[in-house]
Amino acid sequence: MRNLLFLTIIYFLFVPNLFARSAPDSFADLVEELIPSVVSIASKTIIKEQHQQPLPQFPEGSPFDEFFKDFFDDGQRKSLPQRPMYGLGSGFIIDSAGIVVTNNHVIEGADEITIIMFDHEEYKAELLGRDPKGDLAVLKFDPGEKKISSVNWGNSDEVRVGDWSIAIGNPLGLGGTVTAGVVSAISRDIGGGSYVKFIQTDASINRGNSGGPLFNTKGEVIGINAAIISQTGGSIGLGFAIPSNSAKKITKQLREIGRTIRGWLGVQITAVSKEIAESLGLLNEKGAFISNINPEGPSKAAGLQEGDVILKFNNIEITKMTDLPRIVAESDVGSIASVEIWRKNKIITVEVELGELPEKTFVKRSVINKNEKTYFVNSLKLTVGFNFKKEGVIVIKTDDDSKLIPGDIIIEINREPVTTIDNFLKLVDTINKTGRNSLLFKIIRDEKSLWVTIIFHR
């Protein structure tokens, strides 16, 4: 009897804890609150005319000869008309001013982008910036007087395997579709790019879910649904999302300057194979083997050498070669990084001032977010804004006769450095009061420096 009583007490002590994380009765209240912030994205791409090609050769008298004469003219293929190609994806609103986040592959190459709200209202969208390496893009549309709701970012570093996850999106054109599951794994490398470690979920994700949000049970975005692994093309419970902490930094830069700013070492690396480890006297196959060094890169100036093995970066162990590009990219440009390397049977620490990874996806924008503060300089008929890189000011709008274009970054005036907007305005005003008719600007355009003269408007 005493043993039975003891077992009964133990049972009641453990049962509440056992079921503390049981499935909720329903996600309905949460979904009802979130779903207006999730949008469908329709992209339209114009397929250009095909190049003319020579008439295929057939044996004399072949029935195909007459058939193809109807399609070919004078031995050349008749021009085909331009035709549109449409794509569908998902996105979500992060700012009630009309800022939308999605995947880069949802809108890449699109000539027109349309935002479709949950209530089926449609808006033309503008591309503010895109990042192919991180597979992210930021769009903007003008909601006018319509009040729209937005969602908040969550902390993906707090996500644990087994946590509930909720996906909302536009799979196969069926907008407003909700699925739920658990987080299956974190920091998953699926070979889609070394700049992202994915959250894996078994919430059903299909084509068209790309760019849609993955929520936690607090209604916070913990990931952006980006990929699936499937032999059939449909969901088999292997969905992958870009973690919110990675996405937040990227989307902030895309929104403000139209591109990403990533740290850069300037090295080519390969995995440390068993043979490389043995030949260099390493105890294991961890690290990244430097196979080549860019002669213009920061690593060359810091003294790194081909044949070195990078073991740690800023005290973070490089377990796999693919860890290094992501960690370096997330570091601040211009910061001093401590790089621990293996060279000639010794561990050496080298300090490297990180450069900026070259990007070719800068988006020149015709408009900017209404919430971003700009300054109109009447004497130059020029509108400028804050430059996220904290060097110079960015050109927002000019008159038709100006030698400047939107997106130019002004870094010098008459050989004086431009550091802030206040500094820029003060320099212009000071030079204007001297009576000079023109200014000499040093600008950055498409990652190249140029010199441009600007005339005062008096």
> Could you read off the pLDDT of 334-369 as tens digits, one per residue?
999 999 999 989 999 999 999 988 766 555 554 444
Q: Mean per-residue pLDDT for 290-317?
A: 93
45: Cβ contacts below 8 Å, ≥ 6 apart: 84, 85, 86, 87, 109, 110, 111
Q: Which CATH architecture has domain 156-257?
A: Beta Barrel (2.40)
Choosing from 37, 40, 105, 299, the catalytic residue is 105
Are 263-356 and 374-455 equal in CATH topology? yes
Q: What is the pLDDT at residue 175?
A: 79
Q: What is the pLDDT at residue 372?
A: 55
Choosing from 210, 235, 244, 246, the catalytic residue is 210
Choosing from 37, 43, 90, 135, the catalytic residue is 135
Break the chain into its structural domains and give their ranges.
Answer: 32-140, 156-257, 263-356, 374-455
Tokens of 155: 């902390």
Residue 225: half-sphere exposure toward Cβ, Cα within 13 Å: 37
- 24, 165 Cβ separation under 8 angstroms: no
Identify the CATH class of 263-356. mainly beta
Tokens of 34: 């979130």
**pLDDT band, very low/low/confident/very high, at 23 (cuts 50, 70, 90):** low
- 225, 214 Cβ separation under 8 angstroms: yes
* Region of residue 208 (left: phi > 0; alpha: psi -120 to 50; beta: else): left
- For residue 299, indicate whether it is catalytic: no
- For residue 399, indicate whether it is catalytic: no
- For residue 135, indicate whether it is catalytic: yes
- CB atoms near residue 354 (< 10 Å): 23
Strand partners, 268: 292
* Four-residue CA torsion sign, 275, 276, 282, 288: negative
Does residue 114 carry a pLDDT above 80? Answer: yes
Topology (CATH level 3) of domain 374-455: Pdz3 Domain (2.30.42)
- 379, 431 Cβ separation under 8 angstroms: no
Give Cα separations from 307 to 268, 336, 341, 433 (angstroms).
11, 22, 10, 59
pLDDT digits (tens, 9 = 90+) for 42-58: 998 877 655 555 545 54
Cα(396)–Cα(407) distance, integer angstroms: 6
CATH 3.40.50.300 fits 32-140, yes or no: no
Between the two ends of the chain, the Cα-to-Cα distance in Å is: 103
418: Cβ contacts below 8 Å, ≥ 6 apart: 391, 392, 393, 410, 411, 412, 424, 427
Does residue 200 carry a pLDDT above 80? Answer: yes
**pLDDT band, very low/low/confident/very high, at 100 (cuts 50, 70, 90):** very high
Q: Answer yes or no: pTM beyond 0.85.
A: no
- 394, 373 Cβ separation under 8 angstroms: no
Does residue 309 carry a pLDDT above 70? Answer: yes
For the chain, counts of helices (H) and of strands (E): 9, 30
Q: Residue 382 class from Cβ within 10 Å (0-12 exposed, 13-18 middle, 19+ buried)?
A: buried
Q: What is the 8-class DSSP label of residue 331?
A: S
